[in-house]
Chains A and B, each alone.
Chain A
Amino acid sequence: MDFDFSEDQEQLRDAARKWVEKGYTFDRHQSIVKAGGFSRDVYNELAELGLTALFVPESDGGMGMGPIEAMVVMEELGRGMVLEPLTQALIAGAVIGGYGSADAKAWLPRIASGEALVVLAYQERAARYALKTTHTTATETNGAYQISGSKSLVPVGDQADAFLVPAQLQGKTALFLVERQAAGVTTRGYGTQNGGRAAEVTFHNSPATLVTLDGQTALEHAVDIGIAASCAEAVGLMDPAVTITADYLNTRKQFGVTLNNFQALRHRIADMKMQLELARSMSYYASLKLNAPAAERSAALSRAKYQLGQSMRFVGQQAVQLHGGIGVTDEYIISHYFKALTQLEMSFGDSLHHLGQVSDAMQETAGVFA
């Protein structure tokens, strides 16, 4: 049992942090939001740092790194409120690398290099957070696949190069890769809560590459990777949100004294620190369990996402509250942390959903190791 980071992990964190501090200022973030919520230039910069290659196997041109490496990177990207969806590169790299057919694996070198941005398109209108509900259908003719259906909230869906799409094939969920430029694909992009970008994506007899026939297993793994990445990203968001709020209490004066003189506010910041550290602990837990067998992994990730969801909501709301009026302006940074946290709570399953998962999976004993 060891909670220290290796030297390599610290170096990776430093590299990501330096890039965020220099290359992804709040001004740049804001200009990207105004320009639609996604910058391919930024995504390319992440690729140049090697980050898009983290979960691509080494044999396919990637780095074959583990969950802890991804976690330290996602914490730093969260800290900078980076809108470009590195989580999607982690999912695509691991899922295609772990489950993909040879045809699908041919995409891996380009995913690693950042040349191809492949995103998971799984949300459907009727499914909410259920992963077993897929109305998109696939058909096979002489070994060639076509899919039809609609997916919602696809990250940067109108600018990604290809989609990972779960679809029903002969009564089972299979996973396909569909290029955005393929016949029958239409997209409608829009901004989301955090200033980032998503799209409705519709497929009409669109040609597709089969990734795996066991799409359910792959999809559940994909979402668990998304959860772990979101947990780390959320810790990265909450950490500066608490620090900035503390700085504000230490400097803002009312009634002739700085706000840090008021015990009600001191206790609130203590509660924020509590939620942050519970969240950090469970983010570690999520990443440490990400390579466990599927049932153990999913149970652990649901526990983590429930805790993170609670923490995200509390820290986000209280960061705004303790700032008073300035907290609800667009100009000041804290409202942006709040909105980013709000979006993450509802990504890859919200708190109530994961509480249900924990509740259904409860055993007689419970603990970190059970």
Chain B
Amino acid sequence: MDLAFTPEEQAFRIEIRDWVKANLPQDIAHKVHNALELTREDMQRWAKILGKKGWLGHAWPKQFGGPGWTAVERHLFEEECALAGAPRVVPFGPVMVAPVIMAFGNREQQERFLPGIASGDVWWSQGYSEPGSGSDLASVKTKAERQGDHYIVNGQKTWTTLGQYGEWIFCLVRTSNEGKPQTGISFLLIDMKSPGVSVRPIRLLDGSVEVNEVWFDNVKVPAENLIGEENKGWTYAKYLLGHERTNIADVNRAKRELERLKRIAKAEGVYEDSRFRDEIAKLEVEVVALEMMVLRVLSAEAKGKSSLDIAGLLKIRGSEIQQRYSELMMLAAGPFSLPLIHEAMQAGWQGDAVGALHCAPLASTYFNMRKTSIYGGSNEVQRNIVSQTVLG
């Protein structure tokens, strides 16, 4: 048992740190460090910088153009990016659909779709949830009927994150009503420019437009866009959920945000108040404990052991921590978190701030973070899963 990274891993970290420092645009890092609004252009600019270096699909195996990093190296890369203030990579292409295409897609599909994902040129969205299918994903109703060499898709997806920017969408669609709900689902790739696809943004409680409804009205999808076999989509979706499990804990971002929380608390004069500082101290311990748990999972994964029953805990704890730091930042600002001035959350705003400028996005972030215990399988669903591992 050993906590230290190897000299090679430490050298790798330095190499990444230097590269990120040289290549991460300062204006983007500034926005991330201050929770200011990121535009589509910001996100895609960083994705393309990573893509050019071959690091957008940094977890991809070498045969598909990935750098062939170990689990530890991937973790170090993500940590260095997060601490430097890089935006999170929009995961739908490189982290979510790409591994499914690699594992279950045919060669033609791999050659057609993977290059655009690796370069950051094509924006992918996720079509999973539906109005009637939230945590109970297997109940999806969006229908795909085979007609000759096409599928005709009808239905509605929702909570499609950043779908307003999407060019392609991977969807779970119902191709059969026979047997258990899970057995009639297929995994379909749909060009969002196809006639009959419409996107309606959903305004969220923080005023942001982050998620969307996506409608399919007799959308004609070539059958060659089906991944793997018809009615096997649930298996592929589960494979996807099992991929990159340590990512979801987002511990690297938590470390960065903990630093920001301390800066805000100092500026607002509550850091010296032991009642407040102790709350930060509790969070600090929680972050360290989460990081230790992530490192344990990584170490097991690096050795090819996947049986660790603690990976399921990462999502619950990670999301609770995200909510807690956003809550404490808002509380640090106190009354000065009350104004909700959207212009003040944009970089370069020249108006007069109420209180300090850093107070402007705090309530908005707090509101936004409520999603983390709901999405990706609500924390209550996660607890059901964890209880299964304990109770058998």
Contact = CB atoms under 8 A, between A and B. Distances in A.
Interface of A: 1-6, 9, 68, 242, 246, 249-250, 260, 263, 266-267, 269-274, 277-278, 281-282, 284-285, 287-289, 303, 306-307, 355-356, 358-359, 362, 364-369
A287 B300 CA distance: 19
Contacts of B324: none
Given A2-B1, A266-B391, A281-B296, 7 more contacts: A3-B1, A3-B300, A246-B390, A274-B313, A306-B285, A359-B274, A365-B259
Interface of B: 1-6, 9, 72, 255, 258-259, 262-263, 274, 277-278, 280-282, 284-293, 295-296, 298-300, 303, 310, 313, 316-317, 380, 382-384, 386-387, 389-392
Contact of A364 (B262, B278, B282, B390): B262
28 contacts: A1-B3, A1-B72, A2-B299, A4-B1, A4-B299, A5-B1, A68-B1, A246-B391, A250-B392, A270-B382, A270-B384, A273-B386, A273-B387, A281-B289, A282-B288, A284-B296, A285-B289, A306-B282, A355-B281, A358-B281, A358-B284, A359-B277, A364-B262, A364-B263, A366-B258, A367-B287, A368-B3, A368-B288
Nearest to B387: A266
Nearest to B79: A367
A72 to B, nearest CB: 9
A368 to B, nearest CB: 5
Given A269-B390, A277-B310, A3 B296 contact: yes
Nearest to A354: B285
Nearest to A300: B288
Contacts of B5: 1
A267 B288 contact: no
A288 B262 CA distance: 27
A1 B9 CA distance: 10
Majority secondary structure, B binding face: helix
B288 A285 contact: yes
Contacts of B288: 282, 285, 303, 366-368
A250 B343 CA distance: 56
Contacts, number: 138
A311 to B, nearest CB: 9
Contacts of A267: 380, 383-384, 387
Nearest to B386: A270
Given A1-B72, A270-B387, A278 B277 contact: no
B1 A288 contact: yes
B291 to A, nearest CB: 5
Contacts of B291: 367-368
A274 B384 CA distance: 13
A27 B317 CA distance: 39
A3 B299 contact: yes
A355 B278 contact: yes
Contacts of A367: 255, 287-288, 291
Contacts of B72: 1
A271 B382 CA distance: 11
A358 B285 contact: yes
B3 A288 contact: yes
Contacts of B6: 1
A273 B390 contact: yes
Nearest to B305: A4
A362 B299 CA distance: 28
B303 A4 contact: yes
A362 B300 CA distance: 30
Nearest to A5: B1
A2 B2 contact: yes
Contacts of B280: 359, 362
B391 A277 contact: no
B295 A269 contact: no
B293 to A, nearest CB: 5
Contacts of B296: 3, 281, 284
B42 to A, nearest CB: 25
B287 A1 contact: no
A5 B296 CA distance: 12
B390 A270 contact: yes
Contact of A303 (B3, B285, B295, B390): B285
Nearest to B274: A359
A306 B317 CA distance: 17
Contacts of B259: 364-366
Contacts of B2: 1-2, 288
Given A4-B1, A356-B278, A362-B262, A282 B387 contact: no
A266 B381 CA distance: 11
A1 B262 CA distance: 29
A284 B287 contact: no
A6 B1 CA distance: 7
A367 to B, nearest CB: 5
A267 B1 CA distance: 32
Nearest to B296: A3
Contacts of B290: 278
A9 B292 CA distance: 20
Given A242-B390, A246-B391, A285-B288, A277 B1 contact: no
